[in-house]
Structure 1
Amino acid sequence: MGGGRKRGRSQRRHFKEERENVWKDNPKRPPAGAGGGEGGEGGWQPFATENPAFEDYYKGQQIVPEEEWDAFMSMLRKPLPAAFRINASSQFYQDIQSQLENDFRKSLETEVSDEHEKEAIRPLPWYPGNLAWHLNFSRMQLRRNQALESFHEFLKQENEVGNITRQEAVSMVPPLFLKVQPDHHILDMCAAPGSKTFQLLEMIHQSTKPGMLPNAMVVANDLDVQRCNLLIHQTKRMCTANLIVTNHEAQNFPGCSLAKFCPETCVDESKPQRLEFDCVLCDVPCSGDGTVRKAPDMWRTWNIGMGNGLHRLQVEIAMRGIALLKVGGRMVYSTCSLNPVENEAVVGEILRRCGDSVELLDVSNELPELVRRPGLSTWKVRDRGSWVGTYEDVLHYRKKVISPSMFPSGKGATDSCTVGGSDVVNINVVDAVMNESGDMVEGKQETKIATNGSNNGDNANTEEIKQDESESGKVPRRSDETSDSTSIRTEHSSLPLHRCMRIVPHDQNSGGFFIAVLQKLSPLNESQVVEAIKGGGSILKDSALNRLNGPGSDKVLSEETSINQQGVDDSHVLNEQKNKDMDNEISEDRSSEEAKVIVAEVQNDQASKRDKRKSQNQTRWRGVDPVIFFKDEATIRSIVSYYGIKDSFKLEGHLVTRNPDTSHVKRIYYVSKSVQEVLELNVKVGERLKITSLGLKIFERQSTKEDSPCTFRLSSEGLPLLLPYITKQILYASAIDFQHLLQYRIIKFPDFVDAKFGEEASALLRGCCVVILREGHQDVESIGMDPNAIAIVCWKGKTNLCVMLTPMDGKELLDRISFRFGLKIPKIDDGKPSLKSDGSDEQPDGGDETVDPECVPESKASDMEISDFKEAE
């Protein structure tokens, strides 16, 4: 199915080393294959699972009742059981369920080793349809236990081809609360590594009849380019035409709005076009301490500065998500952190800013079997080793680090945001943040905050991003600082934060997670939009225009902030807005060198947008190939004629390419109608979306020594979509011949068991063809129309058929049909069909599907970490 397996080995080793580096500091790590038990041979000691600052903080926050504290900490010190989810849109999902129930569940009965579990594997009771499974083994046990070897290989293979996704159980929860429907537009704001995105794609395809494209669409966004590559590979296993992958800061995700105005009357002539979303998944960067069971290095690195430093960014991302949400739509805010400063405090700030426009929903009746706890209504903030219960009690010199929104009441939030005449200071909120899987993400998340112009502003901002050394134990507390949380005054939030939910590990042997479900009841009013632009004190020089162009932005906010939303005709307004932003950014106390840098940066940005009417062959995004609608009618006619594609399958307007040289297109992608509409809008508004990947690869240029009537072959990824509409170049093979094709990959026509099949194959036109599995005495006319038919792409040469499928996909498909029909897979020997062709012209180039290099921004496809990330969540 998905491509790119040929390049996986080196990247798999690289990614595996990166993911397991928590053990590098331990010189007594056991060798591969050795037992992992404490006190085992070799004297190996388990990784340290102690952090007094962690325990002190969460005891003070009363995250769990005192009587449960020991159980809570005991569970946190245990390895996290693995979990996975079956892809219900896969044509083999019922076979996989049957294999789990009847084979593995019984064979692994004797391997139960956890006193908390009675079964080796079991379905998660709260996940619909028995599609998610919990294992009584950690990832390390799966790798090292010889008795689990076959099961581990099964998991790896099925994950690689997209039939299952290995993902932490609690990470599967947030998409379920979005209530996805078949026609929804969905935004995943911080999507990498992509397990939740894949889950959303499963939902929209599961709700649609097989062989039909859903009207829904998913936009998956991530800030980091390399993580976008990971996201692309993860989602390509789905083989979907309903996905767009973008590369933006989540808090500055661009608004694509277009309204036509009559110059004489200044009245709308048509309904504005606007990119809005029915569902928004806002799984923000967080400290990730809920993943401590899976990432034991967190015990060593955790400190209070991680959560406090991310709070403002989390608020900004969430507010941007609300702005992009349709009225009536749902947004799920989630973190893999237990910290109320990253959780309840952020939700409370959203509700205060949005007022009656947003409601925090009570979803206690949804997923009733999921054990969850209500959100907190009171909490404290820890700063430099001492507890603070109200913003008024924050030391004066720390008030630029600790914001009012961190506290239950949120009082003083509006006073702390000074915009007019403020100094703008660049800061790095965090040097490394935790992603949804608990892995540390290198790099810095840059943002800007507004200060009141005091001389000590820079020092205060620097303190915000430093790790709290007194919390981590590196620096002793001052004598005047206290950790006694009972002696300080605290606040109680009047907001219904109990409707949030916190999942704690010892309730159901899982990781920790926080989820809040919000619904947009009405458009944000003028003051709320202005507040969203300010971002709680942030002035991002490229964000004001993007935010104003978001939903609800067609209103004129003020004389200073209004812009003319006329698509490509707003270049003069763009320049004016940029000049104003530039004036705000250059403060009097900045050095002349800093001012020059900012001026040059803004001028370069202006120059890149002067020509809004650029052709489709260009792109405004450096290092990213443009998205171009494929309109070569001669090529399209030859494809339609060669494969006999029915008129009911619409190609016009649905084919795109990423190659700016239209005469040398190598790959053609198919996009759904919903994606097509977004692409057209994006072109009209000046390509505000930085698109790194989209669509489903359906045709690929094929070169051979002898010309074929059609220069484009079918792609394995696109075959399931196109199969019901193909009428030519089709063969129907018996189960045994289909099995031989998968096993030997190249077979001469006389060597097929069914001699008639060999004759039919030799009679086909030279080039690409489709071989469909004929089950029993099925009518061949009905097989082709069946969207669940099992089929593969082959190449018909002079003397043989060659399978054009990756070895991994071929092996998985071979296992599936062998399981379904009870066939035995014989060993290859000299008596079996030849594996060699009569000439090099018999085997086409690219016989194995590979990853698409055209979709990868600023890096080669071979640089993608594409294999062992499967356990990232």
Structure 2
Amino acid sequence: MCAAPGSKTAQIIECLHRDESNPIPSGFVIANDVDNKRCYTLVHQVKRLESPCFAIINHDASNLPNLKFNDGNILFDRILCDVPCSGDGTLRKNPDLWKKWNPGHASSLQSIQLRIATRGIQLLAPGGLMVYSTCSMNPIENEAVVGQLLQAFEGQISLVDISDKLPGLRTKPGLKSWCVIGKNQEIYNSFEEVPKNMQSLFRPNMFPPSNDILEQLHLERCIRLLPHYQDTGAFFVALFRKIDKLVDSSLSIQEETSQKRQVEENVFNEDGANFKRARYHRENPFIFFEEKDIKGFWQEISEFFGVHPSFPADQLMTRIASDSGRNIYFVSDSLKQIVTLNQDRIKFINMGVRLLVRTDLRNDKDKRSLRLAQEGIAIINNYFSKRRIQLEQQDLLLLLSHAHTQFANLSESVRNQIQNMSDDLGSLICLYNIKQHDLDIPIIFVSWRGRNSLRPFVSHSSRKFYFALCNIDSMTINEIIDKLTIEEKATNQKKDDNS
């Protein structure tokens, strides 16, 4: 719900793809953040995972609109509610925070934390799980919020004991008693101790409930990760399970303040939150291929690369007209439905995996005007049967060591495979299997076939990884990459001089 910058989102997407034999799993991840700029940081973080099963949206998490799906609204099986917090758990890695932090920050954040978590519970499917987490140790942001949720949704959610879920991880149970500390280090053990002129800052739900209620909440099922336990930062985690569908269609959580202020009610509608969207620049729409695109524009591409008939071409999309779009993306069927039904009311920032990229041959209205994108190689390898070459190790090392490799320098086997193809310029799929400890490790990457050479589209970091798999020592790898960088700069300079 508050996904940027994206490290946790990336881990969730990796879990979704734990079965490497299935590049298009049935599930999907919706990552949201209220900050438009941070959404693009999130895009940068997750696009490296090359998944067709994620979408990034830009909304206020406390007022997140329902997503239409099939005949109703989506209720999620799993929700991560990693809310904005005072961040005192990150002081070790963020020493600048010492200058700004004070214990009073928590009191100003609890309200939004509670609203976001409440909306998360409403979007959770019966039997589903929601993690509430912060990187703070202040109980106002942690146990106080958890306790308020359990009381507000009494009988409809429960707190799951997760103390034994990660054996070997040293944790501390959630607190059952705490005091509230103000900005100037003043300490209050109960709301009655708070001066009237301060009651606008501190609310009753920031303090521990009565002992009778406390025993029913089981706050000890939360876990606290303390920095000195594992030489880490500090973290708080609570896991909720939704027992059943919410009894009421709406829920009011009252935040009691001083007598001078009226009780503020935050009403969250189970059937749909008020739709408010930040006013940023308008995103280009996502345009899916229609029947005319599949039978016309896509047909020639499909024949050129030998795309299997089972490939779901209707799940391809662009941000502008399909016959002139710079990039062509692929998304899962579920995400296609979500976008189609919600694009007019949800601000989608990014989704899916890039499959094809428009080349400099834009004026050629044929298959050569598009090249395969390395990001989509898992899907490409499953469905594209033509223009594939099997490399020998000497070919692999040669291609990875240079920006361009002449055909004459490749092995006879590879030269014969290229010769047996059509003479068309365009993308090729290069394959090589490394055998290590009775395991076959496939290396698959995209190259461009020129008139006399091959150009691999492989990042420097991936090249280093492939070299390491081939048992090349790190010093040699760094020397190769340094020479490659010089070679690429010279090639780019030559292009600039000729343009």
Report the TM range for the smaller structure's normalisation: 0.7 to 0.9
Whether 1:229 aligns to 2:40 is yes
Code of the residue aligned with 2:198 in structure 1: it is R
With normalisation by structure 1, the TM-score equals 0.50
CA shift in 2, pair 1:827/1:392, >3 Å:
closer
Residue 637 of structure 1 corresponds to which residue in structure 2?
A: 299
Deviation at 1:762, TM superposition (A): 4.4
Whether 1:373 aligns to 2:160 is no
Residue 715 of structure 1 corresponds to which residue in structure 2?
A: 373
8 Å CA contact retained: 1:332, 1:515: yes
Structure 2 residue corresponding to 1:519, chosen from 234, 241, 252: 241
Structure 1 Cα separation of the partners of residues 264 and 287 of structure 2: 36
CA shift in 2, pair 1:195/1:388, >3 Å:
same
Structure 2 Cα separation of the partners of residues 535 and 642 of structure 1: 64
Q: Which of 361-370 and 334-343 deviates more? A: 361-370
Residue 199 of structure 1 corresponds to which residue in structure 2?
A: 11
Residue 451 of structure 2 corresponds to which residue in structure 1?
A: 798
Q: Which has the higher contact order (CA 8 A, sep 6+)?
A: 1
Residue 138 of structure 1 corresponds to which residue in structure 2?
A: none
Structure 2 residue corresponding to 1:770, chosen from 429, 432, 436: 429
Deviation at 1:382, TM superposition (A): 2.1
Deviation at 1:729, TM superposition (A): 1.0
Structure 1 Cα separation of the partners of residues 255 and 65 of structure 2: 15
8 Å CA contact retained: 1:256, 1:688: no
Structure 2 Cα separation of the partners of residues 337 and 825 of structure 1: 42
Structure 1 residue corresponding to 2:316, chosen from 655, 660, 680: 655
CA shift in 2, pair 1:211/1:535, >3 Å:
farther
Deviation at 1:535, TM superposition (A): 8.1
Residue 67 of structure 2 corresponds to which residue in structure 1?
A: 256
Whether 1:498 aligns to 2:309 is no
CA shift in 2, pair 1:209/1:663, >3 Å:
closer
8 Å CA contact retained: 2:362, 2:369: no
Code of the residue aligned with 1:809 in structure 2: it is S
Deviation at 1:498, TM superposition (A): 1.1
Code of the residue aligned with 1:518 in structure 2: it is F
Whether 1:298 aligns to 2:97 is yes
Residues 541-597 of structure 1: CA distance to partner in whole angstroms, max 9, x if unpaired? xx96xx4434xx9xxxxxxxxxxxxxxxxxxxxxxx99xxxxxxxxxxxxxxxxxxx
CA shift in 2, pair 1:308/1:710, >3 Å:
same
CA shift in 2, pair 1:311/1:291, >3 Å:
same
Secondary structure in 2 matching 1:359: strand
Mapping 1:704-783, distance limit 5 Å: 704=361, 707=364, 709-752=367-410, 754-764=411-421, 765-773=424-432
Whether 1:698 aligns to 2:341 is no
8 Å CA contact retained: 1:743, 1:814: no
Mapping 1:411-490, distance limit 5 Å: none
Secondary structure in 2 matching 1:229: helix
Residue 260 of structure 2 corresponds to which residue in structure 1?
A: none
Q: For structure 2, which runs of at least 5 residues remain unmatched after alignment?
A: 257-262
Code of the residue aligned with 1:704 in structure 2: it is L
Structure 2 Cα separation of the partners of residues 360 and 333 of structure 1: 11
8 Å CA contact retained: 1:211, 1:787: no
Deviation at 1:397, TM superposition (A): 2.7
Structure 2 Cα separation of the partners of residues 256 and 787 of structure 1: 42
Code of the residue aligned with 1:201 in structure 2: it is I
8 Å CA contact retained: 2:222, 2:238: yes
Structure 2 Cα separation of the partners of residues 705 and 220 of structure 1: 34
Residues 590-622 of structure 1: CA distance to partner in whole angstroms, max 9, x if unpaired? xxxxxxxxxxxx9xx9xx9xxxxxxxxxxx974
8 Å CA contact retained: 1:408, 1:491: no
Residues 744-789 of structure 1: CA distance to partner in whole angstroms, max 9, x if unpaired? 121111122x12422432453221111112558xxxxxxxxx9963
Residues 398-453 of structure 1: CA distance to partner in whole angstroms, max 9, x if unpaired? 2222112101128xxxxxxxxxxxxxxxxxxxxxxxxxxxxxxxxxxxxxxxxxxx
Secondary structure in 2 matching 1:678: helix
Code of the residue aligned with 1:237 in structure 2: it is R
Structure 2 Cα separation of the partners of residues 823 and 302 of structure 1: 44
Mapping 1:104-143, distance limit 5 Å: none
Residues 17-59 of structure 1: CA distance to partner in whole angstroms, max 9, x if unpaired? xxxxxxxxxxxxxxxxxxxxxxxxxxxxxxxxxxxxxxxxxxx
Deviation at 1:741, TM superposition (A): 0.6
Code of the residue aligned with 1:249 in structure 2: it is D
Structure 1 residue corresponding to 2:338, chosen from 678, 681, 688: 678
Structure 2 Cα separation of the partners of residues 343 and 826 of structure 1: 47
Structure 2 Cα separation of the partners of residues 646 and 538 of structure 1: 59
Deviation at 1:629, TM superposition (A): 1.1
Residue 313 of structure 1 corresponds to which residue in structure 2?
A: 112
Residue 323 of structure 1 corresponds to which residue in structure 2?
A: 122
Q: For structure 1, which runs of at least 5 residues remain unmatched after alignment?
A: 1-188, 259-270, 411-489, 554-576, 579-601, 609-619, 777-785, 844-873
Structure 1 Cα separation of the partners of residues 163 and 464 of structure 2: 44
Code of the residue aligned with 1:252 in structure 2: it is N
Deviation at 1:314, TM superposition (A): 0.7
Number of residue pairs matched?
Answer: 470
Code of the residue aligned with 2:429 in structure 1: it is V
Secondary structure in 2 matching 1:679: helix
Residues 516-545 of structure 1: CA distance to partner in whole angstroms, max 9, x if unpaired? 11111112222x72316x7886678xx96x
Code of the residue aligned with 2:245 in structure 1: it is P
CA shift in 2, pair 1:274/1:299, >3 Å:
same
CA shift in 2, pair 1:662/1:636, >3 Å:
closer
Identity over aligned residues, as a percent? 33
Deviation at 1:823, TM superposition (A): 13
Name the larger-Rg structure: 1
With normalisation by structure 2, the TM-score equals 0.85
Structure 1 Cα separation of the partners of residues 329 and 362 of structure 2: 25
Structure 1 residue corresponding to 2:147, chosen from 342, 348, 358: 348
Secondary structure in 2 matching 1:255: coil
Structure 2 Cα separation of the partners of residues 217 and 681 of structure 1: 16
Structure 2 residue corresponding to 1:815, chosen from 442, 462, 468: 468
Secondary structure in 2 matching 1:790: strand
Structure 1 Cα separation of the partners of residues 367 and 68 of structure 2: 44
Q: Please tell me the root mean square deviation across aligned C-alpha atoms, in Å.
A: 3.3
8 Å CA contact retained: 2:301, 2:367: no
Mapping 1:606-625, distance limit 5 Å: 622-625=281-284
Q: In proportion to residue count, which structure has more strand?
A: 2
Residue 259 of structure 2 corresponds to which residue in structure 1?
A: none
Residues 106-160 of structure 1: CA distance to partner in whole angstroms, max 9, x if unpaired? xxxxxxxxxxxxxxxxxxxxxxxxxxxxxxxxxxxxxxxxxxxxxxxxxxxxxxx
